[in-house]
Amino acid sequence: MQTIKGPAIFLAQFMGDEPPFDSLDHICAWAASLGYVGVQIPTWESRLIDLKLAAESKDYCDELKGRVAEHGLQITELSTHLQGQLVAVHPAYDALFDAFAPAEVHGKPQARTEWATRQLLQAARASRNLGLDAHVTFSGALVWPYLYPWPQRPPGLVETGFAELARRWRPILDAFDEQGVDVCYELHPGEDLFDGATFERFTDAVDGHPRACINYDPSHFVLQQLDYLAFIDLYHERIKAFHVKDAEFNPDGRQGVYSGYAGWVERAGRFRSPGDGQVDFKGIFSKLTQYGYGSWAVLEWECCIKSAEQGAREGAPFIKAHIIEATQKAFDDFAGAGTDEQTMRKLLGLNEGME
pTM for the whole structure: 0.94
pLDDT attached to residue 335: 59
CA-CA-CA-CA torsion sign (174, 177, 181, 184): positive
Q: Name every residue whose Cβ is closer than 8 Å to that of residue 355 and which is 6 or more positions away in sequence.
A: none
- The CATH code belonging to domain 5-347 is 3.20.20.150
Q: What are phi and psi of 97, to 5 degrees?
A: -85, -10
pLDDT attached to residue 29: 98
| Average pLDDT of span 142-160 | 97
pLDDT(339) > 90: no
pLDDT(333) > 70: no
Collapsed DSSP state (helix, strand, coil) of residue 238: helix
33-52: per-residue pLDDT in tens? Answer: 999 999 999 999 999 999 99
The DSSP-derived string for 176-192 is HHHHT-EEEEE--BTBS
pLDDT attached to residue 175: 98
